[in-house]
């Protein structure tokens, strides 16, 4: 050890140009120190500039750094800390939010299913927001609408408070979802949106329900009011007095087409995080076991979702 130190001092002595010019050496050291100081300063400045601009670029990331999140790491792609433009999440700013979409077809039990989801105080499902044509005219209006919904800036009767833990809506296959599937899949994967596919196994029943619902749109059997969903046995009995006529010539083709559409949807969105449920299964098992598992995966601490 001592030897090495000695060698080192010897070396430095050798490197020294001359013992006679200590002023030159001092100058060199000073210049070097100044240059180094300037360099350090410039790095500091760059970093503070960066943090200022990124604050505007990505509020969500900044928000996250303030939050002490002790969630499962595998869940990180799926939790969000939105920063709504229209209100402040105040004390719930650090509550993670899960994003979902219920993908379904008309007359498949999705209205009922959505009511069930919305019975949780911290879950908001905003209905068929893409039933309005302007919102699904083109990809940009679809993505803009999605951004608003998932940023908690979309207001419907289902909107909850700043403490929402899961936010989503209902999307029917014929509402622009299939036409723009590429961009939507990309969006869902980027943002970690989970899909709940809800379909009906019995497509003939779905068809009958669809025909009856179309008929009631103008017939308005319930005291002159059209109802897509009934809330009592009496209402159900009244609506069921109508017996739709099924076109037997096209029946098989129609059913095949429906089946094909469902399979296509499952294929298009296979790369997303998704979960498939069938209305009939929900009805059969009244403890909604699959829903429980799904919601557990979503990370929502559940109150009991129990079907009466
Ligand atoms: C809803 O969110 C609030 C705020 O995070 C929380 O205190 C409450 O326990 C949640 N309710 C349920 C039923 O999960
Ligand atoms: C997309 O649709 C919206 C709403 O209908 C419209 O205002 C907008 O100009 C359209 N954008 C493009 C790129 O076509
Ligand atoms: C039944 O479907 C066939 C084939 O699509 C069509 O040509 C025919 O007009 C339909 N009949 C009725 C009564 O709608
Ligand atoms: C319903 O689901 C629960 C929970 O998974 C299960 O224990 C039960 O056996 C199921 N009941 C029926 C009738 O399938």
Q: pLDDT, tens digit, for every residue of 219-233?
A: 888 888 888 888 889
Q: What is the mean pLDDT of the chain?
A: 78
Q: Residue 274's beta-bridge partner residues?
A: 195
Q: What is the pLDDT of residue 57?
A: 41
In 93-190, the DSSP E strands lie at: 97-104, 123-125, 166-172
Q: How far is the CA of 138 from the centre of ligand 2 (A)?
A: 6
Q: How far is the CA of 107 from the centre of ligand 3 (A)?
A: 22
What CA–CA distance (Å, rounded) separates 277 from 198? 5
Length of the chain: 308
How confident is the model at residue 208, as a pLDDT? 93
- Ligand 1 site, CB within 6 A: 92, 95, 121-122, 163, 301, 303
The burial class, CB within 10 Å (0-12 / 13-18 / 19+), for 81 is buried
76-297 — its CATH code?
A: 3.40.50
Domain ranges of the chain: 41-69, 76-297
CA of 143 to the centre of ligand 2 (A): 11
> Does the structure show a pLDDT above 50 at 200?
yes
Please tell me the residue having the least CA distance from ligand 1 atom 9: 301
pLDDT in the model for residue 100: 92
245 C-beta closer than 6 A to ligand 3: no
- Residue of minimum CA distance from atom 3 in ligand 4: 289
- Entry pTM: 0.75
* Residue 110 CA, ligand 4 centroid: distance in Å: 21
């Amino acid at each position: 050890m001592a030897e090495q130190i000695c060698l080192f001092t010897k070396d430095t002595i050798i490197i020294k140009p001359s013992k006679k010019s200590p002023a030159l050496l001092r100058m060199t050291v000073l210049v070097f120190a100044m240059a180094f100081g300037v360099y350090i300063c410039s790095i500091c400045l760059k970093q503070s500039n960066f943090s200022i601009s990124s604050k505007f670029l990505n509020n969500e990331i900044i928000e996250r750094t303030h939050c002490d999140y002790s969630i499962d790491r595998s869940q990180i792609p799926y939790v969000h800390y939105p920063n709504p433009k229209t209100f402040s999440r105040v004390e719930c700013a650090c509550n993670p939010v899960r994003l979902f979409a219920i993908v379904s077809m008309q007359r498949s039990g999705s209205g009922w299913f959505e009511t069930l989801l919305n019975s949780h105080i911290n879950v908001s499902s905003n209905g068929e927001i893409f039933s309005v044509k302007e919102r699904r005219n083109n990809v940009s209006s679809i993505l803009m609408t999605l951004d608003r919904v998932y940023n908690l800036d979309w207001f419907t009767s289902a909107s909850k408070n700043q403490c929402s833990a899961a936010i989503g809506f209902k999307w029917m296959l014929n509402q622009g979802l299939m036409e723009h599937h590429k961009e939507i899949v990309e969006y869902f994967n980027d943002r970690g949106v989970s899909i709940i596919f809800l379909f009906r196994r019995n497509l003939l029943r779905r068809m009958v329900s669809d025909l009856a619902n179309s008929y009631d749109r103008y017939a308005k059997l319930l005291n002159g009011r059209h109802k897509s969903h009934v809330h009592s046995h009496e209402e159900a009995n009244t609506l069921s007095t109508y017996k739709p006529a099924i076109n037997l010539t096209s029946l098989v083709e129609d059913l095949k087409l429906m089946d094909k559409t469902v399979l296509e949807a499952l294929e298009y969105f296979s790369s997303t995080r998704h979960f498939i449920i069938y209305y009939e299964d929900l009805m059969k098992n009244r403890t909604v076991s699959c829903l429980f598992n799904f919601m557990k995966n979503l990370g929502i601490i559940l109150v009991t979702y129990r079907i009466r």
